[in-house]
Structure formats: structure tokens, C-alpha cells
Amino acid sequence: MRGGYALTYLSGGTSEFGTNKVVTGFSNGLITNLSYISKDGGITPGYGSLDGSGPNLTPPVFSPSAGNDQNVNYLDRYQGQVPSLQNWLAGVQREVPAGIVVSASYIGNKVVRMPSSLENLNQLNPTHLSLGDTLLADVNSPEAAAAGIRSPYSGFTGSVAQALRPFPQYLNIISNFDESGVSTYNSLQVTAQKRFSEGLEFLLSYTLSRNMSNTSSGFSTFNAAPINTYDRQREFSISNSDIPQAVAISGIYELPLGPGKPFLNHKGFTGQLLGGWQLGWITRYHSGTPVAISASNVLPLFNGGNRPNLVSNTNPSLSRANFDPANRAIYNIAAFSQPADFTFGDAPRVLGNLRDFTYLNEDLTLAKNFRFTERVEMQFRAEFFNVFNRTVFGGGDTAYSPSNGNFGYVGSQSNSPRQGQLGLRLRF
């Protein structure tokens, strides 16, 4: 029986602050770069001397309006904390006949303070959606006046939606270090392993798992903004990388032919030719990854887009049997509908019941060892990747629209065709 727990602090936090991608983001109205060049090759200083002569260095004028009508960056007080990873496991292991070791384990982890873009500080509050088309009108229009909307400050220009934002003077407020992401992983992992004996070695593993998160992984800036930063719980769903079932089988088998083997036990040239052959294999099969469907954004909230509504009792996945990408989609457009104007769709961030193609792959190696003396040996290898030349298609078009004729259609292949290579190695 085995068990364990670990708490690991990951790379991040203040170690990331020194890079240009962050420093340059906080220079709005505060920093200027001036260049003074000596006109006579350095005889006269370009920017002054110890006696005070030279050009007058005037610091930049700071204005609170320096970032108006622009995207600006911010750094919150809680940011810079180091992400942490908790791992735990509990399992049993037993040796069964034929020297095979079987194990079954529950393995899980949880990550907190992951990079994300969930904190959209300048998103318009959805309570204003009741204004409807007035949100799109100019703030100085009769429609805005009728709704009692006024310019937030003198000189402001823009729409009613912009005027009602928490910080109407700015466009988007961007943080490179929004660390409010969370991920959880739970799995049952079963293995059967036989170490090399009697010409055979293999490892078989099966994983049943579930991975949940509220963001994709990576640098915060590159993650998608939430549909509604005021309701971030809706972002928690099946992870984009969730693979519920996976099987992997690998091994080496020494063919029972040649000298000292049960069959064709011959010496001399015949033994050299027939003996020393090995067959190796690595195979992997796993479920397809889940799909995130987007919809036309009918929300003037300055948010992360919108999602479609789900049609009840309708399977969003179409059959993959005898699939032809030229004339058939893999996502069922009838399973979705366009949200009404100024409303949110009810589809989750990622759909667990809509997945791309199952991954299937087999790699094989055939090797032959020639032993000439105790110290001189030659090996011939023939290696084949995707030996059965399986085609695993990529994902379909995920941009839902009733008029999008390409929705669900596949335009790529996610694996490589069969490849083979030959090798010859001499060891002495």
C-alpha cells in the first residue's frame, strides 16, 4: 500500500516582474526616454557635465489623463503570489504469477493562483443590459438623455456603454499577472508491468480521469477574458485538455528463434541469421479533447465574447463513422441556438459531451543484433511511426452562427502520416 502528499510552489510571482513584457506596461504617463548625443565625438558631453553645463534635462510632465482613451495596465496588491500545486495519491500494488506487478492508484492534484484573465476590471456591469440599444447610442444623444445618462466627465466622447464602464476614461485595463485561475485533477490509474524475463517485457497502463479548470494554462495576457467577470463561477468547467480515458501499451519481445531458443536452434551462419530478432511497440489510445463553442457577441459589455444556448435533448456530437471531411460536419448545429440580443448564452466554457476525434497510434520497431565477438556487435533497426497509417482529424469550426455553413467542419489533420526509418549501428 502506498500513499503520499506534496505541496509544491511553482515558478511565477515576483520572478516574472523583471521582464520587459511587464515593466513597459506600467509606463503610462510616468516614463520618458531622452537621447542626447555629443556633436563633436565626445569632446563636449551630450547631456551635461560636472560643472552643470549642457542641455537642460526636464522631467516629463505627469498628467492623470495620460492613459485616457487607451488600454492601460495595472498590478493589484495580491498579484505576485507564487502559484502552488498540491499532489496526493493512495494506491495498492501486488505481484501476480508470471512476475507481473499490478497496481491501482487514486491520484489527484489541485493548482491555485494559476495565470488567468478572469479579472476584467473595466467590463460593463451586466445590470445595464436592460438599456438595450441605448447602450450603443452616443452619450450625448437624445436616447441617452431620455435614459438619464450623462457624460462621466467634461470632454468625454463615446457610447453610453463606454460612459457606464467602471473606469470610462480607459478602454481595457489589462493585468499580466491575474492569478485567479484554479485547476483540479482526479484519476484512477491502473498498471500492469512485467520486467524483462523469458524474452518479454511490457507495460500496460489505463487512466480514468477528470480535469476541471476555470482558465487555460499559460501567461495571463494570452488567456481569454471571461464571458462575465461578475459571475466567474460560470468559467469553471471541464478543462480544454481533459482526457477522460487513456490506454498505453509498450513492450519488447525477443523472438524465440535461433541459438538457445525454442525454435530453429541452429548455430553458425543460420543461427546468426535467424537469432537475435526483437520486436518493440509503443501504442497509445485516448479520448478526444473537449470543445469550446463560441457565438456572436450581442453583449456590448467589453467582455470575452458570448456562447450559444444549448438545445435540450439534442446531442451536440455527430457520428464519426466513415467520416468524410469534405461533406460532413462533426458538430451538430441543431444542438445550439443564438442567444437573444443583450443576453448570455447558457453553454459552459467547455463542453464535456462534445469532443474531437479519438487519438489512435501505434509505433513498431524491429531490431536484429549480430554478435561477431564478445566486444563487437552490430544492430539493425527498422522503425515505423503510425505504422497502420491512421488518420486522426483535427477539430471542427467552433464559431457557432445559424448562418455559418462551415460550423463543425474539419479542415486539418492532427497527426502525421506513417513514417519509417532504417538504422545500422556498430558497437565495439
Q: Which of 55-59, 162-166, 303-307, 350-354 has the lowest mean pLDDT?
A: 55-59
**DSSP state for residue 119 in the 8-state scheme:** -
∠ CA 349-242-117, nearest 5°, is 45
Query: pTM of the entire structure?
Result: 0.81
pLDDT digits 0-9 by tens, 100-145: 999 999 999 999 988 888 989 999 999 999 999 999 999 999 999 9
Higher confidence at residue 370 or residue 280? 280
Gap between the Cα atoms of 339 and 393, Å rounded: 30
- Cβ neighbours of 329 (radius 10 Å): 17
In a domain, 164, yes or no: no
> What is the model's pLDDT at position 65?
81
In a domain, 117, yes or no: no
Q: Is the pLDDT of residue 178 over 60?
A: yes
In a domain, 288, yes or no: yes
In a domain, 423, yes or no: yes
Gap between the Cα atoms of 194 and 204, Å rounded: 9
Encode 384-401: b = buried (16+ Cβ within 10 Å), e = exposed.
bbbbeeeebbebbbbebb
User: How many separate helices (H) and strands (E) can be counted in the chain?
Assistant: 4, 19
Closest CA to 4 of 112, 109, 114: 109
Average pLDDT over residues 228-235: 93
> What is the model's pLDDT at position 260?
72
Q: Is the pLDDT of residue 20 over 50?
A: no
Domain enclosing residue 254, as ranges: 250-428
Amino acid in position 422: L
Gap between the Cα atoms of 331 and 410, Å rounded: 10
Q: Which of 67-71, 151-155, 185-189, 345-349 has the lowest mean pLDDT?
A: 67-71
> What is the model's pLDDT at position 60?
63
In a domain, 119, yes or no: no
> What is the model's pLDDT at position 57?
61
> What is the model's pLDDT at position 59?
64
| Number of structural domains found in the chain | 1
> What is the model's pLDDT at position 271?
66
State how far the alpha carbon of 175 is from the alpha carbons of 18, 68, 71, 181, 300, in Å. 15, 17, 11, 13, 21
Gap between the Cα atoms of 242 and 116, Å rounded: 18
Higher confidence at residue 384 or residue 49? 384
> What is the model's pLDDT at position 352?
92
Q: Are 74 and 171 in contact (CB under 8 A)?
A: no
In a domain, 335, yes or no: yes
In a domain, 333, yes or no: yes
Q: What are phi and psi of 24, to 5 degrees?
A: -70, -15
pLDDT digits 0-9 by tens, 25-53: 455 555 556 666 777 777 776 665 555 55
Average pLDDT over residues 227-245: 94
Share of the chain above pLDDT 70, in %: 87
Q: Which of 59-63, 154-158, 162-166, 342-346 has the lowest mean pLDDT?
A: 59-63
Higher confidence at residue 167 or residue 377? 167
What is the chain's mean pLDDT, rounded? 87
Q: Which of 8-12, 195-199, 287-291, 384-388 has the lowest mean pLDDT?
A: 8-12
Average pLDDT over residues 331-360: 94
> What is the model's pLDDT at position 48?
58
Gap between the Cα atoms of 396 and 236, Å rounded: 23
In a domain, 62, yes or no: no
